[in-house]
Amino acid sequence: MNPEDVVQFHRAGVHIAVLTLNRPQARNAVNAALARALEQHVQAVEADAEIRVAILTGAGGQAFCAGADLKELAGGSAPSARSTPDGGFAGFVNARRRKLWIAAVHGAAVAGGLELMLACDLVVASEHAIFGLPEVQRGLIAAAGGIYRLPRSLPRAIALEMIATGDPIDAHRALALGLVNRVVAPGEVLHSALQLAGRVCANAPFAVAESLAVARQVPDLDEAALQALARDAIARLVKTDDYLEGPRAFAERRAPRWTGH
């Protein structure tokens, strides 16, 4: 497989991008080539004004992503080889992203794979998916977001149990705990993610982006700081054409024609 093939990219219509981790023989584990490729695709998605939502998924039926390629690590390569300076692990977990990202998860999302999922905004999962941070079982630490993003996404006791034991949870428990948005049949994961992406794309893109920019910072800021961010977001929003298009379309009883400007 050529290095450029380890992450595949395609458009699903005008406004949706699908990025597929493409190392199914290695359960889509992250090696150095995948990290570089994924970072390049993320940057291209974020720079493309037409793309409003991106879906991240994995090839094959076994795993969304099994984390770092331990064979590469055992061969003596440094852990940093699977990271990039700007994007962090897999070129993704610390990447600056304004678009909405949906993880479409089948099979296992474990170790760094769960950290990739936690870096996304929404999750559609197969009913056969599992989620875990087994790093401590291998003498490692889930330092690419797992040990601090999982406790933000789950009740504290559940997150700490998963981190300390390394034991996974299944898709239905993940749904009940709010870790994922939807659980569907294995063959429906990407289709359901595309439907969810379509619902987002039906809304005003600037309003979605500004809303997400504030909502993503809720765990880190106090009420006063969040109020200030919301005021700034509204001030930018009222200067756009879409701010008037929404009420105008409602009054005229038609679907809005968003421009993103």
Residue 258 · residue 205 · CB < 8 Å: yes
Task: Give this prediction's pTM.
Answer: 0.94
Q: Which pLDDT value is given to residue 161?
A: 98
The domain of 240 spans 205-251
Mean per-residue pLDDT of the chain: 94
Q: Which of 39, 50, 72, 135 is catalytic?
A: 135
Q: Which of 46, 115, 210, 223 is catalytic?
A: 115
Residue 121 lies in a domain: yes
Domain count, the chain: 2
Q: In this structure, are strands 88-89 and 83-84 parallel, antiparallel, or unpaired?
A: antiparallel
Residue 100 lies in a domain: yes
Give the separation between CA 234 and CA 222, rounded to whole angstroms. 19
252: annotated active-site residue? no
Q: Which of 201, 223, 239 is the last residue of a domain?
A: 201
Query: What CATH number corresponds to the domain at position 24?
Result: 3.90.226.10
| Shared domain check, 234 and 169 | no
| Shared domain check, 164 and 109 | yes
| Shared domain check, 215 and 174 | no
72: annotated active-site residue? no
- Each residue's pLDDT tens digit, 110-149: 999 999 999 999 999 999 999 999 999 989 999 999 999 9
